[in-house]
Amino acid sequence: MSESRTEISSLGEFGLIEHLTKNIELQNASSIVGVGDDAAIIDHFGKQTVITTDLLVEGIHFDLMYTPLKHLGYKSVVVNLSDIYAMNATPTQITVSIAFSNRFSVEALSEFYEGIYAACEKYGVDLVGGDTSSSQKGFVISVTAIGEVAPGKYVRRDTAKKGDLICCSGDLGAAYVGLLFLEREKQIYLESPQVQPDLEGESYVIGRLLKPEARKDIIEFLEIQNIVPTSMMDISDGLSSEILHICEQSRLGCVLYEEKLPVAEEMRKAAFKFEIDPTACALSGGEDYELLFTMSQSDYEKIVLNEQISVIGYMTDADEGMKINTRGGQVHPITAQGWNAFKK
């Protein structure tokens, strides 16, 4: 954070909004009216509009002791864009509403907005509005993302078919292990503030928690390959809980294979340091923001060479339940916690 501290009161609410939004240059033709009027106007030119919103509360969803404000701004946008991509849509606009206590300075909020704008630039979305308020305690962030999709091209969670392949992007579980490291160092710091944090070598897992990306690239790849997934969602709460949603809503069962779950070597090593099972992290760790989707078996050849997509199982009849085959050849039921199934 920069050295100087400007009190919010020296700018006032309108001055603050002006300060935070004055450099916006709208990038999308669909952004007709942005910040500065009573409401934004968006024209989606015959496309369908997709809307999602998320609320992030200090102490519940993030901890400012180890979350840089710029990263927090970036992540607040990315988690919403991830939901838009999970509908097979393209995000175009966001609104950002914030409430903060007098602990925050103009510089602190500017840093937060730097992260917001970095995400807007990276994903090609426009910030077109928001709201600003004070709070008694803590920082509250609400982001709404708006996107567009060709009519009928959106992908829901309840339309998977029996026999479909279950696919997931990237790797799983690392953000959760990153959180374990940061929480451990926080406890050590609280007990002995003179001890320097020891996060050497854990930059991958910590980066996965603090600076996630939305899988725009996967949606673009599927489009180029002419693949319309039969169902899709993003993995925010953990693979096991998300696949249960797809199964329940599609009225089907599934089989997953432990050996097919994508895990990064950095995550595996880090999990062993905490003496926890990497598979349990991949199944139950949250905040990966990868995409989980099902597709017809006939599309398999089109994805087989893409190292960012793993086929992890297939959809079955509902009465076969939701199961995972372990490396050791055992079959366990998948629970929302995933975890218990692996405590042998």
Taking a C-beta distance cutoff of 8 angstroms, is the pair 221, 306 a contact? yes
Residues touching Mg ion, count (CB under 5 A)? 1
Q: Based on the shown chain and the rule CB under 6 A, indicate whether residue 73 belongs to the binding site for ligand ADP.
A: no
Half-sphere exposure of 163 (CA within 13 A, CB side): 4
Stretch that binds ligand ADP, among 17-25, 178-186, 219-227, 293-301 (CB under 6 A): 17-25
Residues 80-99: x/- map of binding to ligand ADP (CB under 6 A)? Answer: ----------------xxx-
Q: How far is the CB of 145 from Mg ion (least distance, A)?
A: 19
Q: Which of residues 130-149 bind Mg ion (CB under 5 A)?
A: 131
Q: Based on the shown chain and the rule CB under 6 A, indicate whether residue 129 belongs to the binding site for ligand ADP.
A: yes
How big, in percent rounded to 5, are the helix, strand and coil portions of the chain?
A: 35, 25, 40
Q: Based on the shown chain and the rule CB under 6 A, indicate whether residue 56 belongs to the binding site for ligand ADP.
A: no
CA–CA distance, 312 with 219 (Å, rounded to integer): 18
CA–CA distance, 146 with 218 (Å, rounded to integer): 19
CA–CA distance, 168 with 219 (Å, rounded to integer): 12
What CA–CA distances, in Å, run from 35 to 84, 117, 164?
A: 22, 14, 44
Q: Based on the shown chain and the rule CB under 6 A, indicate whether residue 146 belongs to the binding site for ligand ADP.
A: no
DSSP state of 198: -
Q: State the Cα angle at 112 between 110 and 23, rounded to 5°.
A: 50
Stretch that binds ligand ADP, among 128-136, 159-167, 284-292, 321-329 (CB under 6 A): 128-136
Tell me whether residue 13 or residue 223 sits nearer to Mg ion (CB atom). Answer: 13
Binding partner at 25 among Mg ion, ligand ADP, none, C-beta below 5 to 8 Å by kind: none
Site residues (vs ligand ADP, CB under 6 A)? 17, 20-21, 35-38, 96-98, 127, 129-132
Site residues (vs Mg ion, CB under 5 A)? 131
